[in-house]
């Protein structure tokens, strides 16, 4: 069953039809919230809260919308509410809850020689350090686009921002990430000289 089938079945009284949606999206929602909070226990609680909110409001879900976009908007709002109460600044990277970096998989491609693998891991570490140096709104956008594979249009819906704002913010995020990475390389060159 796809998302729409599950939602329709649940709305028509099949209580078990919501479970496949939870199984399908829980890892992604958890990872997204973890990137915002950097706290595993909090991410677990907020992911659970996200699904409870979705469950409570599923009867009013608009079938013309993407369930994933709707769910991630709930996750974002749930995490924001928590962070506002806590008044902390979240740090995020592309590391998942098991310490693996999703970008590393993207970078690694086919089988590499050991020195190539080591070089790729260094690039990933540089990228993670650079991500931590850019503002949260840019990190968040890059995570949604490149880790969660949302389109800019979907990100616009999740963040409740106009599409053109997201599009220009995406361009600025890429530039800030490049600048951050280049400044990291320049500082390392200064250390080695």
Q: What is the CATH number of the domain that holds 128?
A: 1.10.10.10
Domain of 54 in residue numbering reads as: 1-90
Number of domains into which the chain is organized: 2
Relative orientation angle of helices 152-159 and 67-86, to the nearest 10 degrees:
50
Choice among 26-30, 103-107, 159-163, 175-179 with the minimum mean pLDDT: 103-107
The residue-averaged pLDDT of 148-160 equals 91
Task: Please tell me the predicted confidence (pLDDT) of residue 172.
Answer: 92
Q: Within this chain, do residues 78 and 166 fall inside the same structural domain, yes or no?
A: no
**93, pLDDT greater than 50:** no
Task: Please tell me the predicted confidence (pLDDT) of residue 177.
Answer: 86
Q: What is the CATH number of the domain that holds 30?
A: 1.10.1740.10
Question: pLDDT tens, 11-41?
Answer: 899 989 999 999 999 999 999 998 888 889 9
Q: In this structure, are residues 142 and 132 in contact, taking their beta carbons and an 8 Å threshold?
A: no
The residue-averaged pLDDT of 145-159 equals 89
What CA–CA distance (Å, rounded) separates 87 from 98? 26
Task: Please tell me the predicted confidence (pLDDT) of residue 100.
Answer: 52
Q: How far is CA 163 from CA 26, 153, 170, in A?
A: 26, 6, 10
Q: Within this chain, do residues 106 and 173 fall inside the same structural domain, yes or no?
A: yes
Helix (H, G, I), strand (E, B) or coil at 148: coil
Kindly report whether the global pTM for this prediction surpasses the value 0.85.
Answer: no
């Amino acid at each position: 069953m796809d998302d729409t089938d599950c939602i329709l079945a649940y709305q028509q009284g099949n209580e078990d039809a919501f479970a496949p949606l939870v199984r399908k999206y829980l890892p992604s929602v958890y990872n997204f919230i973890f990137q915002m909070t950097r706290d595993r226990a909090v991410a677990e609680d907020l992911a659970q809260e996200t699904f409870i909110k979705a469950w409570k409001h599923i009867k009013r879900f608009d079938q013309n919308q993407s369930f994933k976009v709707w769910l991630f908007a709930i996750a974002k709002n749930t995490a924001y509410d928590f962070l506002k109460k806590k008044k902390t600044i979240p740090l995020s990277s592309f590391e998942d809850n098991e310490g693996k970096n999703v970008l590393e998989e993207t970078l690694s491609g086919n089988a590499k020689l050991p020195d190539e693998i080591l070089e790729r891991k260094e690039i990933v570490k540089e990228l993670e350090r650079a991500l931590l140096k850019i503002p949260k709104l840019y990190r968040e956008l890059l995570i949604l686009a490149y880790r969660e594979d949302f389109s800019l249009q979907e990100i616009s819906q999740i963040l409740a921002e106009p599409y053109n704002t997201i599009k220009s913010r995406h361009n600025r995020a890429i530039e800030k990430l490049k600048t951050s990475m280049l400044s990291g390389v320049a500082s390392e060159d200064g250390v080695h000289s």
